[in-house]
Amino acid sequence: MKKLFLSMMAIAIAACTFTSCEDVPEPYNNPYNNMGTKVTVEPKGDGTLVSPFNVAAALAKCEEVGEDGTATEVYATGYVTELTEVSASYGNATFKIADSKEGGDALTVYRAKGFNGENITDENILHTGDSVVVCGKLVNFKGNTPEFTQGCYIVSINGKSEGGDTPDTKTVGTKESPKTVAEALAAINALETENKDTEESWYIKGKVKQVITTDDNITKYKNIDYIISDDGTNELKVFRGKYIDNADFTVDNKVKVNDEVIILGKLQKYVKDNVTTPEVTNSAVVVLNGTGGGSGNTGTPQGSGTQADPFNVAAIVQEAGKLEAGQTSTDDYYFKGKICSIKYTFSAQYGTATFNISDDGKTGGTEFTCYSVYTFGNQAWVDGNTQVAVNDEVIICGKITNYNGTLETASKKAYIYSLNGKTENTTGGGTQGGGTDTETTDVTGTGTVSGNTLTINATEFGFAKGNATSTTLVDGTKIFFDKGTGSTVPAYYDGDYASVRVYANNTVTIKASKKITKIEITTTDPSSSDKYNGSDGAYAEGGSTKVNISKESDTKVSFSGLNSAEVKITNYNEANSKNQLRIKQMVITYAE
């Protein structure tokens, strides 16, 4: 009964809490509205499930209680503006929420558990822009970090909590028989509730009378405020509307005065300072001047999804469309396209990038979102690696997901296999848009092949003393050492205690021509105070298989049960502290 009650209440909260002028289609980390004015949000809510704090109220409560924190649990709601970590290994997530998807003053949610306080098992559970309700204790940590403390949990995401269902989408009118502006205005005037979206979405046809948003703000925010009318006498404002298929607006594809549009969106009676403005919110263009409009890059599905024959964008969209909402593919796919827009370039802080690709490099048609993808070799991006740019040609490899209707790569489950024809990162500061590359840091190692095993001693990796990068071994197997999300890069030390030191949250990726079934590692002897056999949270991933580290002794660890030609070991440590994995010897076992 408790779960059912929470589910019903969370859905009601999601429907009632957010208003159109605080709701934007994209999670830009910018606390300004479309006109460049900073948004001030008044504290609301009393901290209960029925009336949760908004972020402004939660921040005020943190200021009030200080480092002592609240004595009891409270509820707060907001939009996810930054994901620090979502860990299935530790069953929790750390992220920030604000009162607007655009960002602004933020509250940290520290190591939150999932629904009903249970461990998080799906690392794709959260995205920036999600609306959430969180329950826990608030504190102003060290007097300068307002946050939900460890022990908090997620009550709902986008109005859905465990055991609850998202309400069915209802529409008024159809694409073939849309409602008029006059009919939409009459419906808005009849609304009893102000500043709240209708549950149903409306198909509305009209002519563009005025474009409000400037070209600079279209480029910046990728949406448009505009006015539509039946005959030039009545007016209906479209608030931050999107382009066809909910794609971004650009200066090139923006709607123009006298364009005839059919849009799909929700109605709202927006009231501010006793002035009422009839609006359409959360909308996108369905038909522009009698056609689907756009650049025409819908494409014909091609390819088989393999490395030799990757899907094109039309085909990967078709394949992802077969997934049910919330479902992630079990297989990895290869697919190609041209980068048509970039939301986040690669950064050393997060190691990933988010961008859209299309078959012809243009926006406004069929696009696929590459969400939080790694760089070459499934590695986290570091300073000096090659950067992405619009018009780059990419081949992506990884898992895809249907995230509540958004088709995209599963977060941190995909990577760039090829960028402008190259399959390895460069050094020397990287290049933009396929410029001239410098030499890579790959070295040649050796190793000993015996039957279906390859044994490599630390001295055989081929590294000189210093940073450990990548090496190609005697049988063609490649090993990549990477900083990952750690604070120190892997390093090779020679001498009597020769080893490759893999620090906390570093990664080791092994790419072979045959499937790997097991990896055994012998480490250097422990010191009087530390062992060097890795973090207890270390794990290896290959394909859809993830296995945890097995510690057989202070100097012997292994990863068994693998079945993939590419395996990534992560020396995961939540505190980003000690627990080095000092590799003295590695034995790779291949499938028979």
Instruction: Provide φ and ψ at 393, rounded to 5°.
Output: -95, 125
3-state secondary structure of 540: strand
453 pLDDT above the threshold of 80: yes
The answer to whether position 164 is within a domain reads no
pLDDT tens sequence across 317-337:
888 888 887 788 999 999 999
Q: What global pTM score does this model have?
A: 0.33
Residues of the chain above pLDDT 90, percent: 36
Q: Which two tokens stand for residue 159?
A: 């109005």
b/e 63-93 (16+ beta carbons within 10 angstroms → b): eebeeebbeeebbbbbbbbbbeebbbbbebb
Q: Per the domain annotation, does 295 fall within a domain? A: no
CATH number at residue 497: 2.60.120
Identify whether residues 182 and 273 lie together within a single domain.
yes
Which residues are 369's β-sheet partners? 356, 408
Domain boundary among 419, 454, 469: 419
What is residue 577's predicted lDDT score, i.e. its pLDDT?
A: 60
| pLDDT higher than 80, residue 415 | yes
**Taking 60 as the threshold, does the pLDDT of residue 479 lie above it?**
yes
User: How far apart (Å, rounded) are the C-alpha atoms in residues 58 and 47?
Assistant: 8
pLDDT reading at 433 higher than 80 = no
Q: How far apart are CA 14 and CA 157, in angstroms?
A: 9
311 vs 425, which has greater pLDDT? 311
Boundary-marking domain end, from 288, 322, 354: 288
Place of tokens 């070799």: 377
Q: What per-residue confidence (pLDDT) applies to 61?
A: 93
To the nearest 10°, the Cα dihedral for 294, 299, 301, 305?
-90
Under the banding of pLDDT at 50, 70 and 90, the label for residue 130 is: confident
Average pLDDT over residues 30-59: 72
Instruction: Starting at the earlier edge strand, list the strands of the sheet with 92-98.
Output: 138-141, 145-148, 107-112, 92-98, 74-87, 131-136, 153-157
Smallest CA-to-CA distance from 5 within 176, 156, 139 is with 156
Q: How far apart are CA 430 and CA 439, in angstroms?
A: 11
Average pLDDT over the chain reads 82
* Same domain membership, residue 266 and residue 357: no
Which CATH number covers residue 230?
Answer: 2.40.50.140
Ordered alpha helix ranges (H), 283-398: 313-320
Same domain, 134 and 187: no
**DSSP SS3 for 278:** strand
Same domain, 470 and 507: yes
Range of the domain at 98: 2-157
Pair (452, 486) in one structural domain: yes
Is residue 443 within 8 Å of residue 469, measured between CB atoms?
yes
- Indicate whether 298 belongs to any domain: no
In whole angstroms, give the CA distance from residue 545 to residue 336: 25
Read off the pLDDT of each residue in 206-210 and give the average, rounded to a whole number: 93
For tokens 């090496």, the residue is 471
CA triple 444-430-30, angle to 5 deg: 135
Among 288, 323, 347, the domain boundary falls at: 288
What band does 113 get if pLDDT is binned at 50, 70 and 90? very high
Query: When comparing pLDDT for 363 and 387, which is higher?
Result: 387
Q: Are residues 152 and 184 in the same domain?
A: no
Residue 342 domain-assigned (yes or no): yes
- Measured CA to CA in angstroms, residue 522 lies from 46, 250, 502 at distances of 56, 55, 13
User: Residue 10 falls within a domain, yes or no?
Assistant: yes
Residue 482 domain flag: yes
Provide the strand spans (E) within 352-498: 353-358, 368-373, 393-403, 406-419, 442-444, 448-450, 453-457, 466-467, 470-472, 478-482, 491-493
Same domain, 538 and 578: yes
Q: Assign 442 a pLDDT band (cuts: 50, 70, 90).
A: low
Say how many domains are in the chain.
Answer: 4
Single-letter amino acid, residue 26? E
Q: Report whether 269 contacts 189 (CB < 8 A).
A: yes
Sequence-ordered list of residues with C-beta below 8 angstroms from that of 120, at least 6 positions apart, any chain: 86, 87, 88, 91, 92, 93, 113, 114
- pLDDT (average), residues 414-443: 58
Whether residues 553 and 410 fall in one domain: no
Please check whether residue 249 is in contact with residue 264, taking contact to mean a CB–CB distance below 8 angstroms: no
257 and 122 in a common domain: no
Instruction: Indicate if the pLDDT at residue 193 is higher than 90.
Output: no
User: Does residue 395 share a domain with residue 328?
Assistant: yes
Identify whether 142 is part of a domain: yes
In a domain, 260, yes or no: yes
* 454 and 396 within one domain: no
Read off the CATH number of the domain in which 61 is found: 2.40.50
Token output for 565: 């030609």
For residue 553, count other CB atoms closer than 10 A to its CB.
10
Q: Are residues 177 and 138 in the same domain?
A: no
Task: Mean pLDDT check: name the lowest of 333-342, 482-491, 534-543.
Answer: 482-491
Render pLDDT for 334-382 as a digit per residue (tens, 0 to 9): 999 999 888 888 888 888 999 999 888 887 667 899 999 999 988 888 8
What is the spatial distance between Cα 120 and Cα 485, in angstroms, rounded to a whole number?
A: 20
